[in-house]
Homo-oligomer: A and B are copies of this chain.
């Protein structure tokens, strides 16, 4: 029913938009996709859907909520017959959490149906939609994903693949698209490869595409390769064909995938996420050591960095915070007040560990600072003598326009305050961050040439693409010095 859903209140304000998964040519394709999405659930909890194909027709089921809510009835999966399927888990950035926005989208045409799933964000979505609407286009969702299908239909006279390639050159930003037709699955990655996307293979030779490698493991698929920037992967009965829609590419994968989003067991461009995080912890220890009795991490995403930090300093690594494994429904609006209180629904301090101790607590990032403030308070309430906060990434000062739910600067603590000001607001005894250079060194993307291979724009404001629709608003949010730098940057390369 399209009624009111209780709000899940998240203590973390960094939210990834989505995860995609698809399989072509395997029996029980929709069940495999369900399992694949289960291991991508961390990438989106507000909606889930699967479209399958039996070679003739496409079948769709989607609903709001977690995968287990969206597919609450065993029949939901059973009706998705066929040996190919694509699926999607979604985090909604806009507040418009209606079922119309849950992917994969399924479009019916007289010349054949198309299903579409997307991870990322387009920076020229508004201008494209504006143009398309003026030409008579009617959109059924408020998602920018839908723009691609309108563009394709505009070029459809040239054939589907050609139309798709033209369309992929018209959209800007960070995107990993997955499409399903009755007899074909297609994947495409933006020219900077901002979002992760990989290919796997099942024992029977069926190909799998997924946002992260952890989804290959759960279905027993072996890793084949990462999708490269600008590539178009076409999988049909004849096998896999690697095509491209542009050669003007430059790898700049989102550093936040390594810092926070991706699962620790995923391997992105050859780098195991847990290992990268542990190295961030080690380098952080060198740059910002702390004189403490023990090191603790904020579960779960900061545990890897915390253990690296402890090892580097030869300090005990302890369990000072416990995470409740169960989701709490809080029947309230996600206001700032609630966010503060709700930390307790997720985290508890272990009094018997921290009481009377000097503690270094490692977190992966600071966004608004409210969680950090609550964690420090919680530890002190539990008897900690000193709490030294260490962040295993640089200060988060600039918004993300490629799929993280932070598109204005107003909410970013580090955009407005110095480190010492932040420390005071948070109430920690000391505060330290990882440097950008160390972050790049910790991740160490292979074969990246003379660039970092990463998008670190959140920390230094250097975006790998033009900002299009966001440019004006972004400029207005900058201070004088930042604006000057931005203009210089624009004159140079963008």
Contact = CB atoms under 8 A, between A and B. Distances in A.
Contacts of A133: 109-111, 153
A234 interface: no
B63 A324 contact: no
Count of chain copies: 4
Interface string A298-342: 001001100100010000111100101111110100000000000
Summarize A's interface: helix, strand, loop or mixed: mixed
A348 interface: yes
Interface string A446-474: 00000000000000000000000000000
B324 A39 contact: yes
Most chain B CB within a 10 A radius of its CB, from A76, A79, A217: A217
Contacts of A153: 133, 136-138
Given A1-B1, A133-B110, A324-B39, A6 B72 contact: yes
A468 to B, nearest CB: 17
Interface in A346-367: 348-353
A299 B311 CA distance: 20
A351 B267 contact: yes
A61 B345 CA distance: 21
A140 B138 CA distance: 9
Given A79-B4, A267-B351, A345-B218, A136 B137 contact: yes
A282 interface: no
A110 B130 contact: yes
Contacts of A411: none
A68 interface: yes
Nearest to A153: B136
B349 A61 contact: no
B154 A41 contact: no
Nearest to A353: B274
A107 B138 contact: yes
Interface string A134-157: 011111101000000110011010
Given A68-B328, A138-B138, A275 B149 contact: no
A161 interface: no
Given A138-B137, A214-B348, A3 B326 contact: no
A316 B311 contact: yes
B76 A274 contact: no
A442 interface: no
17 contacts: A1-B72, A2-B61, A3-B75, A6-B72, A42-B326, A67-B328, A99-B99, A109-B138, A133-B153, A136-B137, A218-B344, A218-B345, A267-B351, A272-B351, A274-B350, A303-B319, A325-B325
